[in-house]
């Protein structure tokens, strides 16, 4: 094995505006984008990682360039566990969640991609997985849509894109009209038929009582799960919800690290755990989070970023599927060259080392957002 050392780290910000805007129950989405981290070794091998760039990507970029990069130059990229713990200890004073962990996650994913390329091995094999054809569901259906627009998009996900499972938003009118939410679910169910799996996402919009009442009414439409019915940090509210309905509860995309997952699991707050590896600490931490879900016998379904999480889902027997956000399809196609796409509800892992992905550097260089710092 080559004795590679980290020579350089580069960070790119790419994003595109969303024309017209899309809203869920609690916020409007105006841009989608990625923070891309490229780590190069002294023998010219490059690995990359990503996190989100919607709000605060500029701070993430600066943290990596000014604080993290100097700590990693000259290091062995295989020291992922040691590096992860050192960076957490170094940065924990400025954030144990949020942008600090987005930065750490992108770095960690890049290191794992680098390790896979040095070893000439796909990450799913390094994680112990064997499956290469992975189930995926289509996710969209914003609360800002009219009923007709919602039904049209969900039908297209099924008939045009071939998904057998779909997810859409509930919490219309800021979460204040659950009767209309029920009517929208009914319309979608009637339009797609009884065989299609339907999942719902409330995006933190209700209190526990409202969420549980909605869950007990909507389950008549054969819903697979309800996601984030209450504020993500409301552990007592999640417990109350769980104790008030038998509709499966999915949550966790707003959590960070194994400790956030632990709190959900110990308190019995989730049937499906959805932490996002591009926020929660990268692959080093997600492998531990996945193991925790196995210990508590619940499902592990990482949030979005399907081209990253596909390797984890391959390796964990309790991971039923990937999520593909329709909103990110454009920026994903622009950022990666020949990235796998769903085919009748499945994605196939590329037979390539590391993540199995190639960056479209023409697009990245053209759209890279250069920071302009004002010195006071």
Q: What is the pLDDT of residues 35-78, one digit of tens each?
A: 999 999 999 999 999 999 988 899 999 999 999 999 999 999 99
- pTM for the structure as a whole: 0.96
| Yes or no: domain 6-120+359-367 corresponds to CATH 3.30.390.10 | yes
Q: With CA atoms as reference, report the closest residue to 229 among 368, 43, 25, 65.
A: 25
Distance CA 238, CA 12 (A): 37
Q: Identify the bridge partners of residue 13 per DSSP, sorted by sequence position.
A: 35
Asked whether residue 305 carries a pLDDT value surpassing 70, the answer given is yes
Distance CA 15, CA 331 (A): 7
Q: List the single range of 7-21, 263-277, 332-346 with lowest mean pLDDT.
A: 7-21
Q: What is the pLDDT of residue 375?
A: 44
The pLDDT of 262-286, averaged and rounded, is: 98
Using DSSP's 3-state secondary structure scheme, residue 264 falls into helix
Q: At 376, is the pLDDT very low, low, confident or very high (cuts 50, 70, 90)?
A: very low
Contacts of 112 (CB under 8 A, 6+ apart): 47, 49, 80, 123, 126, 282, 283, 284, 354, 355
Cα-Cα-Cα-Cα dihedral sign, residues 313, 225, 154, 274: negative
DSSP state of 68: I
Domain ranges of the chain: 6-120+359-367, 125-357
Q: What topology does CATH give the domain 125-357?
A: TIM Barrel (3.20.20)
Length of the chain: 376
Give the model confidence (pLDDT) of 128-157 as tens digits. 999 999 999 999 999 999 999 999 999 999
Distance CA 339, CA 358 (A): 8
Cα-Cα-Cα-Cα dihedral sign, residues 296, 299, 304, 305: positive
Q: What is the pLDDT of residue 54?
A: 86
Give the model confidence (pLDDT) of 319-362 as tens digits. 999 999 999 999 999 999 999 999 999 999 999 999 999 999 99
Q: Where are the alpha helices (DSSP H) in 198-251?
A: 208-218, 235-242
């Amino acid at each position: 094995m080559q004795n590679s050392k980290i020579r350089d780290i580069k960070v790119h910000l790419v994003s595109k505006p969303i024309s017209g805007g899309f809203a869920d129950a609690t916020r409007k989405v105006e841009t989608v984008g990625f923070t891309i981290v490229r780590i190069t070794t002294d023998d010219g091998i490059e690995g990359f990682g990503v996190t989100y760039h919607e709000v605060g990507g500029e701070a993430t970029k600066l943290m990596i360039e000014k604080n993290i990069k100097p700590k990693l130059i000259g290091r062995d990229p295989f020291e992922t566990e040691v590096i992860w713990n050192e960076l957490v200890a170094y940065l924990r004073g400025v954030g144990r969640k949020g942008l600090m962990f987005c930065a750490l996650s992108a770095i960690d994913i890049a290191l794992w991609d680098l390790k896979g390329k040095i070893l000439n091995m796909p990450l799913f094999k390094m994680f112990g997985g064997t499956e290469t054809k992975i189930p995926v569901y289509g996710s969209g259906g914003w609360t800002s849509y009219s009923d007709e627009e919602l039904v049209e998009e969900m039908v297209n996900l099924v008939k045009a894109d071939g998904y057998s499972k779909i997810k859409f938003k509930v919490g219309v009118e800021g979460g204040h009209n659950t009767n209309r939410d029920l009517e929208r679910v009914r319309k979608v169910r009637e339009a797609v038929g009884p065989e299609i799996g339907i999942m719902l996402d409330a995006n933190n919009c209700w209190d526990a009582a409202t969420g549980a009442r909605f869950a007990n009414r909507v389950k008549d439409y054969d819903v697979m799960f309800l996601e984030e019915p209450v504020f993500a940090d409301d552990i007592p509210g999640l417990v109350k919800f769980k104790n008030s309905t038998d509709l499966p509860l999915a949550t966790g995309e707003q959590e960070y690290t194994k400790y956030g997952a632990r709190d959900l699991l110990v308190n019995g707050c989730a049937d499906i755990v959805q932490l996002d590896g591009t926020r929660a600490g990268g692959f080093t931490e997600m492998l531990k989070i996945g193991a925790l879900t196995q210990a508590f016998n619940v499902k592990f379904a990482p949030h979005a970023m399907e081209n990253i999480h596909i390797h984890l889902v391959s390796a964990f027997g309790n991971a039923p599927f990937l999520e593909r956000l329709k909103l990110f399809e454009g920026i994903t196609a622009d950022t990666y060259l020949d990235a796998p796409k769903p085919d009748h509800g499945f994605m196939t892992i590329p037979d390539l080392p590391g993540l199995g992905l190639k960056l479209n550097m023409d697009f990245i260089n053209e759209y890279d957002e250069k920071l302009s710092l004002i010195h006071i």
